Structure 1
Amino acid sequence: MTSLCRAIYFKCRECNGILFNPLLPNPLIWQFTRGYARHIPRKGVSERSKHEKSKKHMKHAKPARMILSKSVIAPSDAQRSRWSHDDFRRQKVVVKQFQERQQATPYLIGPPNAGGFSVLKNIDYEDRLPLNATAARLSSFESLRLLPVVRNALYGRALRHLDEKRPSAIQALAIQKITRLPPPTVRLAQQGLLAKDDETDEEYYERRRHRKNLHKMKVKLKSYLLAAETGSGKTLAYLLPLFSMLKEEELQNAPAVWGIPERPYIRSIILVPTAELVQQVLAQVKDMCHDIKLASAGLSQETTRGVADGIRKKQIDILVTTPVPLLKLIHRTDWNILDDCRKIIVDEADSLMDRSFKNETQEILDTPPRLETLIFCSATIPKTFDRTLDRAYPNMERIVAPHLHQIPRRITFSTVDTSARPFFNDKRKALAETLYNLDRSDSDPEKVKRIVIFVNHRESVGDLVAYLNDLKIYAVGLTRDNSLEERSTMMREFIRPTQLLKDVMNLNPVTGNVKTLRVLVTTDIFSRGIDMQSVRTIILFDVPFSSIDLIHRAGRTGRMGRRGRVILLAAKSEMKPWLRGLATTINKGYALV
């Protein structure tokens, strides 16, 4: 015991010298634990200074940490063999790669600095470079495999307000890869079910018998993951291939591929998480289907039971729905209403595949007996979502945009430290000053300025709206507690194009009048998928919980090539080390992890 105690050392906090007791008998071990030890300074210090510092540093404080001598911590042969194992070597390689990446991109936020904020899957830049070249080569919709009727509806309906009609990176990549599925006539020819010039009567009746049962045959599932930054046109990225495949089946005169025309059917489904997204996606689908001649319908929590039951009696090409109402409709039906469904699209898939909707979504995906095409679409790939897809669909083809997990460079990001003067950690005062400055700015002259403020908890919405209204600032609050009609009315103000001040009643267009602002205070429930065309400014009143929330909140502005700004208000307790460099990280174009 005495020999072991002689080998125990302590490290001094003040001068990095060594504290130890050369003769530490067993009865005096308690003195050692309380810090009674003689100080031995660092090498190179004079004998006089040694004596003086030994008295000076005699204290009863607990030492910083305990260090064992080399004779005690010398590894055994078994430990050495374990350290040379592949797992330890792999760990060293991972640490080295991480250090090199941190040195190459010092502003890249991520582990370990970000802690729980970092929840996204990191995609190496080497994997993004080939996608840039492919997207640059597919620079027009004419170079993509789309039916003329679909392309004409795209130009005349969806993109009629744009001067330059070019596909985004995710649209070009998705249309190119998803439309590679052979058309119905090719699949019939592969199975020998097309008519021949010299076929006999027996061959004719045999072919007709097989074609009659063709819609009951199960084919191999093709699964895809579409991932791109917010505001890049992901809705059209999956709608255009869907329109083209559905219409091609009709034009190729192959009704046996998708079902019997005489009875009700649902050919394809688009799953979204909220009723607002059902309205938004359904409006775009109906607008284009007016020219393409496809039948569509919508189903959400706000849909009455009579309307929902009427869907079972219709022939629907595209059904836009949320998971729970569709499951209720399936359970109320004696027969499988998804018997003819061959294509399912899961929009905002990272939300629908998390703990909130995962069971309902997976039950819907397992219901169609002959599912051919399954498309997951998301603006973020969380680590848990990535693992879920790997387990459930190991052969999935991933179509990832080059700028995934990046906030577009056209969005200016800035952080306001509310602990500094003149706010002194008063976030409301900082918010009021920010709104006054935005009202006096020269951006969007002679137009109504619409601003969205995001908070983390819905209990904060009412108090913040009341505070802004007391300052004579027009503000409304929006949470899940509002009815769908109320939410639609409030959201319409921020979705439609920006109005001129002269066209708005009861507004004084004098510079500095806060009545020229329109402010919406809401939570994360409206941060996904909603296309707010007229919103140029996003204010984050609370620091987002994770990088996923940050990307989706910031994505409500700067959509489809427009410019925008994001302002984050941070209190002293929220100014983490990674948060101080967040604005530089985003403005430099680094991907969040």
Structure 2
Amino acid sequence: MINQQHQVSTFSELGLSEPLLKTLEQLNFTTPTPIQIECIPPGIEGRDIIGIAPTGSGKTAAFVLPILNHLWDNPQGMFACVLAPTRELAFQIASQIDALGSAMGARTAVIVGGDEDRVKQAVMLARKPHIVVATPGRLLDHLKVTKGFNLRNIKFLILDEADRLLDSDFGVSVDEILKVIPTERTTYLFSATLTDKVAKLQRANLRNPVKVQVSTKYETVDSLLQYYLLCPLVKKEATLVSLLNSMAQNSIIIFVRTKEHCQRLAVISRILGFRSVPLHGDMSQSQRLGALNQFKSEGSNILIATDIASRGLDIPSVDVVINFDCPTHSKDYIHRVGRTARAGRSGKSILMASQYDIEFVQRLEKVLDKKLDLYPHDPEEAHLLRERVDEAGRVAANQLREDKRAKGDARRRRKPLSSGDRDGEEDLDEVNRFVMKKKRKV
């Protein structure tokens, strides 16, 4: 196991090729992070790697740079496959590969599900990209049905957010993919948290891997201030609104448990005058990317999201993460709060806990081996806001029912779609549509 940083201060000391060094200089990548220092040299040597590091620590470049270095030495067709658990993370990884590999002409293809066109994806695959970045389900579909496409010649397999890829949602697809790729390959596993499933895959599929661990199993960065806030369940929405009022100038991500609650809070907050956008799995891919871009460009300063936004997304300017709903597992908390305090910056997280969440808070503190501080907040402000927030909630509930009924009618009137096309029909613009219609009633 490697868990200490060598005395390295520049990328040139890591053995990268000249084109990559020039590109890094152009991109203002000056000093490698600990995970990059520990991963790049064994990656260049051709070793299998398990990389464990906090979110925001530069894991993507840690596996992309060795792959591009090998590609420069041995240019060929399909060279590597990167698997990611979410579409957004797949697009983000591909954009970083495109940037780092620009000087050497590295070609990527992003293969994800939802409303992405299968035919266009098949055309991209036929052009033999060097690196395929994919979500497991859609990649497996193409391996089964797309004529002429296979991964029999790839040299590298990378599982980013490996613990998530090996859970029940993706495990079956990943196992099927592993059966049709070369056993003689280099494999990288990367995650912010190490689970038993990752360790099991290490024993089954990796050959004498280098284990790079620059964090403990569950660890948050020192620059993150972590708080909890106790409030009754019936006052939770009003308490959230009072928090948002007090942080009007901040960039905030609010995590919720379900798609329905995500949409509801987005509507309520917009009715009450906040610049918020939702992000959840029932939105089309273009709308999901649009929401992210709107948040990154500061067109909106509040992103209300399910856990699809908790993994790997690099949004540099997030000031605060609010856990409106407690996550199911402690490791999910690590990934959520990792959206702020990235790359050495400071940040703040607030865990909103009702009377039913006390046990989770105690369990989380035990896992983190630290006590969360009580967030200073005046409950009287939430009490004063409650009537207005409850009324906004009633308006939102009525409109969401109307919108669901209208969509059901529209779906029945048109030709049935395939499951892949049907995924994510909800439109981000629905928030704007009915907020303007109902705002006067509040």
Give the TM-score normalised by structure 2.
0.77
Q: Which amino acid aligns with 1:573?
A: Y
Query: C-alpha distance in 2, partners of 1:381/1:580?
Result: 16
Identity over the aligned pairs, expressed in percent?
A: 27
Query: C-alpha distance in 1, partners of 2:35/2:138?
Result: 30
Please say if residues 48 and 210 of structure 2, whose CA atoms lie closer than 8 Å, have aligned partners that are also in contact. Answer: yes
Which one of 570, 573, 578 corresponds to residue 362 of structure 2? 578
Which one of 194, 206, 210 corresponds to residue 381 of structure 1? 194
Aligned 1:388-403 pairs, distance under 5 A: 388-393=201-206, 395-402=208-215
Which one of 45, 56, 76 corresponds to residue 180 of structure 1? 45
Q: Over aligned residue pairs, what C-alpha RMSD do you find? A: 2.5
Query: C-alpha distance in 2, partners of 1:454/1:416?
Result: 15
Which one of 211, 230, 235 corresponds to residue 426 of structure 1? 235
Please say if residues 418 and 426 of structure 1, whose CA atoms lie closer than 8 Å, have aligned partners that are also in contact. Answer: yes
CA displacement 1:264-308 (0-9 Å, x = unmatched): x41111111222122111111112222122222221114323222
Please say if residues 218 and 334 of structure 2, whose CA atoms lie closer than 8 Å, have aligned partners that are also in contact. Answer: yes
Aligned 1:427-446 pairs, distance under 5 A: 427-439=236-248
Residue in structure 2 matched with residue 295 of structure 1 by the alignment: 107
Residue in structure 2 matched with residue 131 of structure 1 by the alignment: 3
Query: C-alpha distance in 1, partners of 2:163/2:365?
Result: 27
Query: C-alpha distance in 2, partners of 1:315/1:400?
Result: 34
Which one of 225, 236, 241 corresponds to residue 61 of structure 2? 236
Query: C-alpha distance in 2, partners of 1:402/1:380?
Result: 9
1:150 aligns with 2:20: yes
1:306 aligns with 2:119: yes
Shift of the alpha carbon at 1:247?
A: 0.6
Query: C-alpha distance in 2, partners of 1:296/1:180?
Result: 23
Residue in structure 2 matched with residue 531 of structure 1 by the alignment: 314
Please say if residues 425 and 572 of structure 1, whose CA atoms lie closer than 8 Å, have aligned partners that are also in contact. Answer: no
Q: Which amino acid aligns with 2:32?
A: P
1:248 aligns with 2:61: no
Change (3 A) 1:566 1:237: same
CA displacement 1:229-262 (0-9 Å, x = unmatched): 1110100000011111111224xxxxxxx6xxxx
Residue in structure 2 matched with residue 451 of structure 1 by the alignment: 252
Q: Which amino acid aligns with 2:160?
A: D
Residue in structure 1 matched with residue 266 of structure 2 by the alignment: 465
Aligned 1:24-35 pairs, distance under 5 A: none
Q: In the comparison of the two structures, how many residue pairs are matched?
A: 370
Query: SS where residue 154 of structure 2 aligns?
Result: coil
Shift of the alpha carbon at 1:587?
A: 7.0
Shift of the alpha carbon at 1:480?
A: 0.6
CA displacement 1:404-447 (0-9 Å, x = unmatched): 5211111111111215xxxx9611222122112212xxxxxxxx
Please say if residues 232 and 560 of structure 1, whose CA atoms lie closer than 8 Å, have aligned partners that are also in contact. Answer: yes
Shift of the alpha carbon at 1:166?
A: 1.1
Residue in structure 1 matched with residue 171 of structure 2 by the alignment: 358
Query: SS where residue 456 of structure 1 aligns?
Result: coil
Shift of the alpha carbon at 1:403?
A: 5.0
Which one of 204, 213, 227 corresponds to residue 414 of structure 1? 227
Query: SS where residue 137 of structure 1 aligns?
Result: coil
Query: C-alpha distance in 2, partners of 1:338/1:394?
Result: 20
CA displacement 1:387-411 (0-9 Å, x = unmatched): 3433444743322114552111111
Query: C-alpha distance in 2, partners of 1:148/1:297?
Result: 25
CA displacement 1:487-512 (0-9 Å, x = unmatched): 1111102234xx5xxxx7xxxxxxxx
Please say if residues 406 and 586 of structure 1, whose CA atoms lie closer than 8 Å, have aligned partners that are also in contact. Answer: no
Please say if residues 409 and 587 of structure 1, whose CA atoms lie closer than 8 Å, have aligned partners that are also in contact. Answer: no
Greater radius of gyration (CA): 1
Change (3 A) 1:336 1:459: closer
Shift of the alpha carbon at 1:136?
A: 4.0
Query: C-alpha distance in 2, partners of 1:406/1:452?
Result: 20
Change (3 A) 1:394 1:283: closer
Please say if residues 153 and 292 of structure 1, whose CA atoms lie closer than 8 Å, have aligned partners that are also in contact. Answer: no
Change (3 A) 1:552 1:177: same
Shift of the alpha carbon at 1:346?
A: 1.2
Aligned 1:310-321 pairs, distance under 5 A: 310-321=123-134
Query: SS where residue 489 of structure 1 aligns?
Result: helix
Most deviating of 235-244 and 334-343: 334-343
Residue in structure 2 matched with residue 549 of structure 1 by the alignment: 332
Query: SS where residue 298 of structure 1 aligns?
Result: strand
Shift of the alpha carbon at 1:537?
A: 0.8
Shift of the alpha carbon at 1:371?
A: 3.4
Please say if residues 85 and 136 of structure 2, whose CA atoms lie closer than 8 Å, have aligned partners that are also in contact. Answer: yes
Asked which structure has the greater RCO (Cα within 8 Å, sep 6+), the reply is 2
Residue in structure 1 matched with residue 397 of structure 2 by the alignment: none
Residue in structure 1 matched with residue 33 of structure 2 by the alignment: 168
Please say if residues 259 and 282 of structure 2, whose CA atoms lie closer than 8 Å, have aligned partners that are also in contact. Answer: no
Q: Which amino acid aligns with 2:35?
A: I
1:330 aligns with 2:155: no
Q: Which amino acid aligns with 2:13?
A: S
Query: C-alpha distance in 2, partners of 1:478/1:486?
Result: 8
Query: C-alpha distance in 2, partners of 1:526/1:177?
Result: 31
Shift of the alpha carbon at 1:363?
A: 2.1
Query: C-alpha distance in 2, partners of 1:458/1:380?
Result: 25
Query: C-alpha distance in 2, partners of 1:392/1:374?
Result: 8
Query: C-alpha distance in 2, partners of 1:237/1:272?
Result: 15
Shift of the alpha carbon at 1:156?
A: 1.0
Please say if residues 380 and 405 of structure 1, whose CA atoms lie closer than 8 Å, have aligned partners that are also in contact. Answer: yes
Query: C-alpha distance in 1, partners of 2:191/2:302?
Result: 27
Change (3 A) 1:584 1:474: farther
Query: C-alpha distance in 1, partners of 2:371/2:191?
Result: 20
Aligned 1:17-56 pairs, distance under 5 A: none
Q: Which amino acid aligns with 2:251?
A: R
Q: Which amino acid aligns with 1:311?
A: M
Please say if residues 349 and 377 of structure 1, whose CA atoms lie closer than 8 Å, have aligned partners that are also in contact. Answer: yes
What stretches of structure 1 of length at least 5 have no aligned partner?
1-126, 182-221, 251-257, 259-264, 440-447, 505-516, 589-593
Change (3 A) 1:463 1:307: closer
1:227 aligns with 2:40: no
Shift of the alpha carbon at 1:579?
A: 5.8
Query: C-alpha distance in 1, partners of 2:369/2:126?
Result: 56
